[in-house]
């Protein structure tokens, strides 16, 4: 069967959970992202390769990046999402899918939570929803998840959601400041055994 052009693949949004509305990035999100990055800088600068220079995350620069991300979403090259807490209307989690292979139907997922919303299970809820969405709405066959050695919150989420550890790649993750860390690689191949969670997507 011929591969459908990825731009024609349906990606129904938003994704809804009991506490979150997870949606694609949109015009005007730059200031929101900038504020969240600055609030969470200590954690991001420890684990995220892209969190090198705090001064680079201005509202203007984040708005420029947001619009590039919107184009990538339309082209189905990557799917970057923001989770809004339904009760407060506050953006609390950044997540999505990257390294998408529409021919093999596999991708990786990832997430980070702004500091003020941490330790409330937001990342676990968002990641659980994304896994269900990947296998349900996107028809993925494999969803990967990675983290650096020492990132215990990410390790706990991977294990809580039943991801299988496939490999430990020595010194594979470049971190801010030129540091390197071992990369822990996990995968899931279905939703069997995921913690129960009410998830829906699309209109309605």
Q: Given the structure tokens 């209307």, which residue do they identify?
A: 89
pLDDT score, position 203? 76
Model confidence band, residue 204 (pLDDT cutoffs 50, 70, 90): low
Q: How far is CA 81 from the centre of its chain?
A: 7
Q: What is the CATH number of domain 6-140?
A: 3.40.630.30
CA distances from 123 to 12, 88, 134, 141 (A): 21, 17, 16, 22
DSSP per-residue codes, 122-133: HHHHHHHHHHHH
Q: What percent of the chain has pLDDT over 90?
A: 96
Name every residue whose Cβ is closer than 8 Å to that of residue 17 and which is 6 or more positions away in sequence. 125, 126, 128, 129, 197, 198, 199
Collapse the DSSP code of 27 into the 3-class scheme (helix H, G, I; strand E, B; otherwise coil) and give the result.
coil
Could you tell me what percent of the chain has a pLDDT over 70? 98
> What pLDDT is attached to residue 4?
74
| Across 101-122, average pLDDT | 96
Taking residues 15-41, report their average pLDDT. Answer: 97
The 10s digit of each residue's pLDDT in 43-90 is 999 999 999 999 999 999 999 999 999 999 999 999 999 999 999 999
Q: Give the burial class of 133: count Cβ atoms within 10 A of its Cβ; 0-12 exposed, 13-18 middle, 19 or more buried.
A: buried
- Residue 1: its pLDDT value, please? 42
Residue 34: its H or E element: helix 30-39
For the sheet containing 142-148, what is the strand order? 164-174, 180-188, 142-148, 106-113, 91-101, 79-85, 20-24, 15-16, 200-201
Domain boundaries, the chain: 6-140
pTM, to two decimals? 0.95
């Amino acid at each position: 069967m011929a591969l459908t052009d990825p731009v024609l693949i349906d990606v129904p949004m938003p994704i809804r959970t009991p506490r979150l509305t997870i949606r694609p990035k949109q015009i005007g999100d730059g200031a929101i992202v900038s504020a969240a990055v600055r609030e969470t800088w200590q954690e991001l600068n420890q684990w995220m390769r892209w969190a090198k220079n705090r001064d680079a995350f201005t509202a203007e620069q984040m708005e420029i990046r947001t619009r590039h991300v919107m184009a990538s979403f339309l082209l189905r090259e990557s799917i970057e999402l923001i989770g809004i807490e339904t009760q407060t209307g506050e953006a609390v989690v950044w997540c999505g899918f990257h390294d998408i292979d529409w021919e093999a139907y596999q991708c990786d997922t990832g997430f980070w939570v702004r500091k003020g919303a941490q330790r409330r299970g937001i990342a676990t809820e968002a990641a659980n929803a994304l896994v269900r969405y990947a296998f349900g709405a996107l028809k993925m066959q494999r969803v990967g998840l990675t983290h650096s050695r020492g990132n215990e919150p990410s390790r706990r989420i991977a294990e809580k959601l039943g991801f299988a550890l496939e490999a430990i790649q020595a010194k594979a993750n470049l971190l801010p400041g030129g540091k390197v860390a071992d990369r822990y690689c996990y995968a899931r191949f279905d939703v069997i055994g995921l913690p129960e969670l009410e998830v829906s997507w699309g209109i309605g």
